[in-house]
């Protein structure tokens, strides 16, 4: 296992929710990262953001780690959940609420409902 892979493994295992993204949760640097961070921020999830643009080893390492070619990537309790399209789908279907509830992740259910109402 490379240093990047070991660092990624440690990060996803020691944080309940991790978003590997371009930029930061305060300043996303791509539309897809912005969408996922926006959802998490809006519904009040406490998560660790990792800026893949700051480290090329992590940028490639996370793609190898998950066997998923794109960024952003969301992890909950050490498990890879998906990228932007999957998180968007899960938000709109309510599956993301269920995932957070089953894993004891605090979030604002009424804010999640507002996202669904706005996209109905």
Reported as a pLDDT band with limits 50, 70 and 90, residue 120 is confident
Q: Which residues does 112 contact at the CB level (< 8 Å), separation at least 6?
A: 43, 91, 94, 96, 97
Q: Under a CB-based contact definition with an 8 Å cutoff, are residues 20 and 11 in contact? A: no
- Give the residue numbers spanning the domain of 81: 3-118
Residue stretches of the annotated binding site: 30
pTM: 0.96
| 59-118 tens-digit pLDDT | 999 999 999 999 999 999 999 999 999 999 999 999 999 999 999 999 999 999 999 999
Residue stretches of the annotated binding site for [2Fe-2S] cluster: 30
- In the chain, the number of structural domains is 1
CA separation (Å) from 79 to 29, 49, 57, 74, 105? Answer: 24, 15, 20, 8, 14
Would you state the pLDDT for residue 20?
Answer: 98
Q: Which residues does 107 contact at the CB level (< 8 Å), separation at least 6?
A: 43, 44, 45, 97, 100
Question: What CATH number did the domain enclosing 108 receive?
Answer: 3.40.30.10
């Amino acid at each position: 296992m490379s240093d990047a892979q070991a660092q990624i493994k440690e990060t996803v295992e020691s944080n309940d929710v991790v978003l590997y993204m371009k930029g930061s949760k305060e300043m996303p640097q791509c539309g897809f990262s912005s969408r996922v961070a926006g959802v998490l921020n809006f519904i009040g999830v406490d998560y660790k953001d990792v800026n893949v643009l700051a480290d090329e080893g992590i940028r490639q390492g996370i793609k190898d780690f998950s066997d998923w070619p794109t960024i952003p990537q969301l992890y909950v309790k050490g498990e890879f959940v998906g990228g932007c399209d999957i998180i968007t789908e899960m938000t709109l279907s309510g599956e993301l609420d269920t995932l957070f509830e089953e894993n004891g992740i605090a979030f604002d259910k009424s804010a999640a409902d507002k996202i669904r109402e706005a996209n109905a």
